[in-house]
Amino acid sequence: MATLELLGRASEAGPKAGQSGGSSPASGSAAGHARMRADIEGLRAIATFLVLPFHAGLMLFPGGFVGVDVFFVISGFVITGQLVREVERSGRVRLLDFYARRVRRLLPASAVVLGATAFMVWAWVPRIRWETTGGDIVAAALYVVNWRLADRSVDYLAEDVTPSPVQHFWSLSVEEQFYLLWPLLVLAAALVAARYGVRRKVALAVGLTAVALPSLLWAGHQAVAAPERAYFATSVRIWEFAIGAFVALAAARLARIPRALAVGLAWLGLAMILWSGRTYSTDMTWPGYAALVPTLGAGLLIGAGVAAGRGGPVWFLGRKPMLVIGYLTYSLYLWHWPLLIVAREHFGGIPVWVGLLIVVFSALPAWLTWKFVETPFRSSPVVTKHRRVAFGLGANATLVGAAAGLTLIVALSHSFGPGSAVTAAVTPVGGTTGALGAAALGDDPTRSSAGAVGTSWPQAIVPDPVLAPKDVPGLYRAGCQQQPDSADPVSCSYGNKDAGTTIAVVGDSKAAQWVPAFEQLVTKHDWHVITYNKSACQFVDTDTPLDGGVYTTCREWTRNVIAKLTGPDRPDVVVTAGQQDDAVTGVADDGSLEESQPVMQAALAATWRQVADAGVKVIVLADTPQTGRDIYPCVAERPKDPGECAYERANGVAASGAPVQRAAASEAKVPFIDLVDWICPRAECAPVIGGVLVYRQGSHITKTYIESLAPRLEQELAALGVT
């Protein structure tokens, strides 16, 4: 969303807001149009109409996200026009003045919204979200949240993180980074032009091309190779700003085209924007080459508006209702998203009509912010005439936003009870006196009261449910689980490398979750444990899906690992586990597991048999039951009703990979270990056993509970001759 030249200004030299544009540009004008362009305010309104209902869940325009791209084009046009006019007027770019204008126009309102968002999260959002949201608010205040979100998008341990109340600041961050760098490009072009006697516009056009073309090509590549991260990256958005910049450079020439042609081009540009908003969807990789349609459409509409006068869409885009929305665009964008997300978090979801009401309601705080924050700080003589005051204002606004986020994090730390630390002592609940976790179940878990759901929680739960996402194997911090984009095996090593028995733990994160148990056991046995794990990748030599495509690196990784497991340095034992909840690629395109399970079973058996035939003992660990939802938020927010957080064992086992794994192990004639009785002993699965929280994200087991299962795993391995 653009954060540019609000309240109807398209240039510093433009007349008062409300004056209609459309006249021919002044002769020799750098951008071709120094006067206020009312139709650009209307274009902002169009982009707003695309984005806000889309965020509310209304799919009238399922590609409403293209409105953000339109704003980037507007930014490129407006800012480039201002900078070039300044160069032609004075021969230089006053960088400090430029940055001071950005500060006083943008930062005060964002600080108000960030502070209000922190309060709303503290008051109405579950505390499990406070730390992440607090960090997001700090990053938003510093205008780097787009990179934080990009990193999170490829973080396997952040798979259950819900949309942040300040996630919309990603586009504001991209804009701020553009504002920081773009004047330097214009200044460099001016210096080159002066040094070599080249026309300024020619030098700038060459510079723009040198920046924009690689950005476009990189966007096309990254939209396929790493779409989640690419969406938030500034580098793949630069070309969108450049489209607007090219229009600004060409404005003087565009003013000479026939009016009828200009009107037709304006209609075409508007149609391209609306068509992409109507036909595009979130299933597309973005921003790839498909983003050319709405961005070029925006460029056409802006460029044609120079010569179209009041004809065609330029006329209605400049009407007062469109202008009002255009003026409020920045504040509307700031307010609508946190209000939507806080409502969804507080109520556990909201219908579309409620979302639309919230979007409409956001106009009230948006107007108040525009009236009492944006306008005073933007037009105050003290602020406008003194750069130091403006920069001081910006520094304070940044501190306010960052402090709001830090306050939320501190509030979380003060909310922890006695069970917050993973090593905290707990009061046992049934079973063996003083036992922790699975040990509380005794030797017959199905008869132990510790496995019952119960009517209340223990006095302390380890880990605190808020900290559950952090209770993970240390191999993640060590970088020992391979990411989806690479097929190279990476590993961690535990115990004595010269030990008598080498055990390899192989598979996806459902295999990696067992590593803490092996870490405990290597201290008791003459074992050397190595790990081969890859995110969302079962150890199986067949094509599996990921994000709607073929997970090619998974199969490559599997084959690379097989080479290590069957090579000269092969281990004595392979323990493998995994989660099978996707259809095999090419077998069931509708995502149905029924058709693909026989294929998966055969592929698993063949993979395991290949390793076993090399003289390696292969042992299969059953997949842990699928809960169907995240358990730890329920435990954190329902302190008096454990039954609400339980799930049915039969459903959980059936939805897991255990049935297919059991059949595949039988087919491959390799042993199968199933510890489900120590994870869910009853027909209804308790989320807390022996004072320990069983699950973290999805169907992954907490590190603490896995460690409590180490003695049971040890017994099962010993029965198979692994001692």
Domain boundary among 378, 412, 446: 412
164 and 300 inside one domain: yes
Q: What is the pLDDT of residues 486-525, one digit of tens each?
A: 999 999 999 999 999 999 999 999 999 999 999 999 989 9
**What is the Cα–Cα distance from 231 to 219, expressed in whole angstroms?**
9
660: CB partners within 8 A, 6+ apart: 580, 597, 600, 601, 604
Q: With beta carbons less than 8 A apart as the criterion, state whether 42 and 50 touch.
A: no
pTM equals 0.82
Query: Helices marked H in 125-164 — which ranges?
Result: 130-141, 145-153
| Residues 405 and 479 both lie in one domain | no
Asked whether residue 491 falls in the same domain as residue 382, the answer is: no
Most confident of 184-198, 230-244, 427-441: 230-244
Q: In whole angstroms, how far apart are CA 556 and each of 25, 503, 566, 601, 674?
A: 60, 22, 16, 19, 28
Tokens coding 359: 């979007």
At 525, list the tokens.
């046995």
pLDDT for 200: 86
Please say if the pLDDT value at position 12 is more than 90: no
Residues 143-161 have a mean pLDDT of 79
Q: Flag whether 14 is in a domain.
A: no
Does the pLDDT at position 154 exceed 90? no
Cα separation, 565 vs 319, in Å, equals 71
| pLDDT, average across residues 608-626 | 97
Residue 581 has pLDDT above 80, yes or no: no
Residue type, 4: L
Beta-strand relationship, 573-577 and 549-550:
unpaired
The pLDDT, as a whole number, for residue 596 is 76
239 closest CA partner among 167, 277, 187, 296:
296
| Residue 339 Cα distances to 159, 217, 261, 359, 365, angstroms | 23, 36, 43, 8, 10
Is 50 exceeded by the pLDDT of residue 427?
no
Contact 43, 298 (CB under 8 A): yes
Interval 429-439: pLDDT, tens: 334 445 689 99
State the average pLDDT over residues 441-460. 87
- Specify the number of domains making up the chain: 2
Cα 157–145–629 angle (5° rounding)? 30
The confidence score (pLDDT) of residue 350 equals 95
Mean pLDDT of 337-341: 98
What domain range is 245 assigned to?
A: 38-412
Q: How far apart are CA 637 and CA 468, in angstroms?
A: 13
Residues 451-475, mean pLDDT to the nearest whole number: 87
Domain endpoint, select from 412, 446, 462:
412
When comparing pLDDT for 389 and 115, which is higher? 115
For the segment 295-315, what is each residue's pLDDT rounded down to a tens digit?
A: 999 999 999 988 877 778 988
Lowest mean pLDDT among 5-14, 60-69, 487-496, 579-588: 5-14
CA distances from 233 to 138, 360, 572 (A): 18, 30, 45
Q: Which of 412, 434, 459 finishes a domain? A: 412
**Integer Cα distance of 30 and 248 in angstroms:** 8
Residues in the chain: 723
Do residues 390 and 518 share a domain?
Answer: no
Asked if 170 and 293 sit in the same domain, the reply is: yes
Q: Whose CA is closest to 460, among 430, 438, 428, 434? A: 428
Residue 489 lies in a domain: yes
Q: At what angle do helices 169-196 and 238-254 cross, to 10 degrees?
A: 50
pLDDT of residue 640: 73
Query: Is residue 436 classed as helix, strand or coil in its secondary structure?
Result: coil
Q: Is 25 inside any structural domain?
A: no
Q: Does residue 179 sit in the same domain as residue 256?
A: yes
Give the chain's mean pLDDT.
87
**pLDDT exceeds 90 at position 708:** yes
List 481's β-bridge partners, or say none.
533
> Contact 334/113 with Cβ under 8 angstroms?
yes
CA 518/CA 373 separation, integer angstroms: 58
Give the DSSP H or E segment for 501.
strand 501-507
Q: Based on the domain organization, do 170 and 243 belong to the same domain?
A: yes
**CB-facing half-sphere around the CA of 625: CA atoms within 13 A:** 27
Residue 450 lies in a domain: no
**Residue 100 is assigned to a structural domain of this protein:** yes
pLDDT for 524: 92
Whether the pLDDT of residue 15 is over 50: the answer is no
- Kindly state whether residue 154 falls inside one of the protein's structural domains: yes
**Do 224 and 314 share a domain, yes or no?**
yes
Read off the DSSP letter of residue 575: E
Q: Which of 86-100, 117-131, 382-396 has the highest mean pLDDT?
A: 117-131
CATH number of 647's domain: 3.40.50.1110
Helices 292-308 + 238-254 axis angle, to 10: 20
Q: Are 72 and 237 in contact (CB under 8 A)?
A: yes
Q: Indicate if 673 and 524 belong to the same structural domain.
A: yes
Whether 128 and 252 share a structural domain: yes
In-domain check, residue 443 = no
| Residue 257 placed within a domain | yes
